[in-house]
Amino acid sequence: MPRKKVLSKALAFRSQAVRAIETAKPVRALFPDTPYSEHAELNERSKGEAEGMTKEEFKRRYPEIQAAWAREEDPRVSGGESFADVEKRVMPFLEKLASEQTGKRLLLIFHGNVIRVILGAILGAPANFRHRIKQDYCALNVIEYDDADCRRSILKVNETLL
């Protein structure tokens, strides 16, 4: 089914981040009648007290976290979230959304780590391995939810126009 036809009948949900709002603008221009709403549950993984630091600053301040990530552990910075924490926030929201919007197409606009959490949860991948799921900017991932079997299937991962 062509993308335009799929998106024309969708309900759209996005995180509260400016970059998600900016990403949604071209879609909104093409489909102005598509209902959109923002949800904190779709926000990117919080970095807590490390929010806003460059990668270099983070490496200097949190070498123990960097080392744990290199060992594929799932630690969090003080006040921040691990992949497991994000799953506890995101997956109940998606389950509720799926149950409330049965049979409808949903367009979700959010962030790489949240996408990794969702795909990893569907695949049953441990939280500490979810960073292995590569995501390009503005990539399309398609997940089908079978209401009758309560089963999710991943149809596309990291599809881009380039």
Residues 115-127 as b/e (b if ≥16 CB within 10 A, e otherwise) read bbbbbbbbeebeb
Are 65 and 77 contacting, i.e. CB atoms less than 8 angstroms apart?
yes
CATH 3.40.50.1240 describes domain 3-45+81-159: yes
pLDDT in tens, 47-71: 999 999 999 999 999 999 999 999 9
Average pLDDT over residues 134-155: 88
Domain locations in the chain as residue ranges: 3-45+81-159
Written as one string, the DSSP assignment of 133-156 is: S---TT-EEEEEEETTTTEEEEEE
pTM score, whole prediction? 0.86
